[in-house]
Amino acid sequence: MTRLGLTDPVQEARLLARIIETISAGLDLEEILQGIAALITETTETDVCFVYLLDEEGQRLVLGGATPPFHRMAGQVELKMGEGVSGWVAAHGRPAVIVEDKLSDERYKHIPALGREDLTSMASVPIRGKPHHLVGVLNVHTRARREFTDADVQLLGWVAGLIAGAIENARLHRRLAEREEAMERYAERIVLAQEAERRRLAGEIHDGISQRVVSLSFHLSAAADAVATAPQVAAREIAEAQALAEAALDEARFAIAGLHPPVLDDLGLAASLETLARSFPQLDVQAEAEPCDLPSHVATAVYRIAQEALQNVAKHAGARSAWVRLMTRGGTVILEVQDDGKGFALTSPAVRGDQSGPSGYGLPGMRERAELLGGMLEVISYPGQGTLLRLLFPAATPH
């Protein structure tokens, strides 16, 4: 039995107009797809509509929207490219029609999650954006036998062309919203990090430099009182004052280096990592650093990650030796920090950065630095087998 619906010009015009209206109503992708699926089944006198979207890697089709009750399965049903009728349509870029006896069609694949075998006929068309970019697949199904004509398939192709732009715009809007949210989180964390750094520096000045300057003042006062009557006492007090002045100067230099390592400006990143390796006397740290021409802010971020990683090794790893390697492979810069320590389980709260667990590893902060460089941070560790931390990021890094 055949039905009219898809080939009626009035219904065609009404369907296309209502789809344009739905697309224009907002940018929420799930709402758009569910609304379009409902419009298609209503106007074309079909029973079920599925809209599959191609994932970012172009390898899988993911159910993005459907008519009720299947809309609840959005995001949960996936097909590989070439799998099932939808996968075949995506892989070949051509429509497919099954009138009846779908089980005998070698392209057909039953999807248990959808749990329906009472759908008899179907038409499937690729959803293509411009220029001929595959976005997904649109399917309509009927319970009764339905002979979809070429005109029917052509109209479904027009519908697919209309919704392709809406899908791409909604995805773009979602990505922009996610990026904006991520930037807001980064800004908040930067402010928190700045406040933490100010508190740390204030504590160092108060507990270290300030106390030494106060003691220096006492020794100088005692020397001034004794210089006329007890020259030996005055000399001893001056010697104490000199030692305190040198210690205060060293602490001031350390605090300044904590804010920004001057060696980066003087020697560059490679030499700075070699100098950093020598600043951990309790460890045998070997540094192999190739010269890398990186912007100042990128070099600072890489240096900080290496510094934090070596501090973790010194504090937590129980290691005797560590290795720092900096290299460029193709368009990727790679920093590796490896140790022969006790290692750890990657699922522990200290590593994940959970507030409920012990802190000190600093991996969340290092990962954020890596993301800001447009790269990624890998951690490979097993109990008793040491740890390898690897930073990878593109040599041409955005500001």
Q: For residue range 99-147, what is the model confidence (pLDDT) as tens digits?
A: 988 888 889 888 887 766 788 899 999 988 877 788 899 999 999 999 8
Query: Do residues 150 and 183 lie in contact, with contact meaning Cβ atoms separated by under 8 Å?
Result: no
Lowest mean pLDDT among 113-117, 142-146, 209-213, 248-252: 113-117
State the pLDDT at residue 6. Answer: 53
CATH superfamily to which 261-394 belongs: Histidine kinase-like ATPase, C-terminal domain (3.30.565.10)
State the pLDDT at residue 354. Answer: 41
Q: CA 148 → CA 98, 117, 141, 334, distances in Å? A: 8, 19, 10, 56
State the pLDDT at residue 23. Answer: 67
Query: Do residues 158 and 13 lie in contact, with contact meaning Cβ atoms separated by under 8 Å?
Result: no
pLDDT score of 323 more than 90: yes
State the pLDDT at residue 243. Answer: 86
Mean pLDDT over the full length of the chain: 81
pLDDT score of 316 more than 70: yes
State the pLDDT at residue 334. Answer: 94
pLDDT band for 96, please (50, 70, 90 cuts): very high
Three-state DSSP class for 14? helix
pLDDT score of 348 more than 60: no
Highest mean pLDDT among 29-33, 226-230, 246-250: 226-230
pLDDT score of 266 more than 90: no
pLDDT band for 3, please (50, 70, 90 cuts): very low
State the pLDDT at residue 1. Answer: 38
What are the tens digits of pLDDT across the range 359-369?
345 777 788 88
pLDDT band for 2, please (50, 70, 90 cuts): very low
Q: Do 9-177 and 261-394 show the same overall fold?
A: no
Three-state DSSP class for 377? strand
Gap between the Cα atoms of 69 and 215, Å rounded: 78
State the pLDDT at residue 358. Answer: 32
Higher pLDDT, 218 or 350: 218
State the pLDDT at residue 7. Answer: 53
Percent of the chain at pLDDT exceeding 70: 85
Gap between the Cα atoms of 57 and 187, Å rounded: 29
Query: Do residues 142 and 119 lie in contact, with contact meaning Cβ atoms separated by under 8 Å?
Result: yes
Q: CA 196 → CA 121, 192, 355, distances in Å? A: 64, 6, 16
The residue to which tokens 């015009």 are assigned: 13
Where does residue 137 fall: left (phi above 0), alpha (psi -120 to 50 degrees), or beta otherwise? beta
pLDDT score of 356 more than 70: no
Q: What angle do CA 91, 97, 99 make, to 5 degrees?
A: 150
Q: What is the DSSP letter of 323?
A: E
Higher pLDDT, 48 or 3: 48
Q: What angle do CA 80, 82, 88 make, to 5 degrees?
A: 130
Cite the DSSP H helix spans in the chain: 9-24, 29-44, 84-92, 150-204, 211-226, 231-259, 262-267, 269-277, 296-312, 349-352, 363-372
pLDDT band for 240, please (50, 70, 90 cuts): confident
Burial of 185 (0-12, 13-18, 19+ CB in 10 A): exposed
What are the tens digits of pLDDT across the range 6-22?
556 766 677 777 777 76
Of 378, 380, 372, 379, nearest in space to 392 by CA: 378
Q: CA 289 → CA 124, 323, 330, distances in Å? A: 56, 10, 16
pLDDT band for 26, please (50, 70, 90 cuts): low
State the pLDDT at residue 352. Answer: 46
pLDDT band for 193, please (50, 70, 90 cuts): low
Q: Where are the domains of the chain?
A: 9-177, 183-258, 261-394
State the pLDDT at residue 121. Answer: 92
- For the segment 360-383, the average pLDDT, to the nearest whole number, is 81
Lowest mean pLDDT among 3-12, 190-199, 219-228, 252-261: 3-12
Write the CB contacts of 343 (distance below 8 Å, at least 6 apart in sequence).
Answer: 317, 381, 382, 383, 384, 385, 386, 387
- Could you please state the CATH topology (level 3) that the domain comprising 9-177 is classified under: Beta-Lactamase (3.30.450)
